[in-house]
Structure 1
Amino acid sequence: MKNIVVICFTILAIVSCKKSSKENGITDEVLKDTIVEQIVQVPNKKTNKELKEELHAKGFETFDYVDEKTKDTILMQQYFMAFLKSGPIRSQNEEDAEILQKEHLAHLGKMYELGYADISGPFGDKGNIRGVTIYNVPTLKMADSLANADPMVKAGRLVVEIHPWWAAKGFSLR
């Protein structure tokens, strides 16, 4: 958020100074280069050791995996995958189901904003497993508690099945 604010102010400053800059012999090309240099900032990257120590201090389980091809050490972290399955109480009327759905989405959004969940989404079929959430928390107990706090789960419309899941720390979806 801080970077976005800095970028906005930088662009506003450059745009407001553009006329006087041209009068001083500064070209559009120089301005573009300046903007690109200020926007493209490399964040301070922690070493695997620092990241591992930080995660262990918070109670997370990790292990090192050495890629045989590249010989790179990849830090693996335990997450918890919660499968949201059709629950036994699905007799809510359409209005109540719609309210529950809004509360469910708000709950998942809150989990993401608080850093407890990294990704959530529904499955694209009409099967028993309705969706998944990957919790980024140190314990199964915590993931279970957060998943069961979902209004859809509390209402019995969904039930939760949670499994420990390992993924490379810092890798993103493609």
Structure 2
Amino acid sequence: MKALVWHGRNDVRIDNVPDPKIQDPGDIIIKITSTAICGSDLHILDGLVPTMKEGDILGHEFMGEVVEIGHNVQKFRKGDRVVVPFTIACGHCSYCNDTLYSLCDNSNPKPDLAKANLGHATSAIFGYSHMMGGFSGGQAEYVRVPYADVGLD
């Protein structure tokens, strides 16, 4: 598939990259139908966001059509159209139970990177550096969405 890929400060390109795969039973894969560039993407472009790695797929504002579903997903079926929030949340930690999804304790597999760079951990965020989990973003043809039953509409 084609995706917008970060290669370094002021260097982003459309590259051919592998299609995403279901990695967890709560995942879905969506075919992107619309995506946007956010003002905060300029921080990535300018090199102000630490922990970016060459080859990272950008984009944290997107929507699309569900094309593949993990076997634990309850809310969605193939063909459903979804809007995906930029934060990734588990749905069952204390923060998620209080609907404070951007503070999710479980979605970011690299909270120590966030703590070292921001002073605190955050939830994971699509396409926004490894301190935010290193998840591929939605400026691509397809994207894997973990914890699909949480947050999507």
Q: Which of the five TM-score ranges fits, normalised by the shorter chain?
A: under 0.3
Query: Higher helix proportion, which one?
Result: 1
Q: TM-score, normalised by structure 1?
A: 0.22
Of the two structures, which has the highest relative contact order with CA contacts closer than 8 Å and spacing of 6 or more?
Answer: 2
Larger radius of gyration: 1
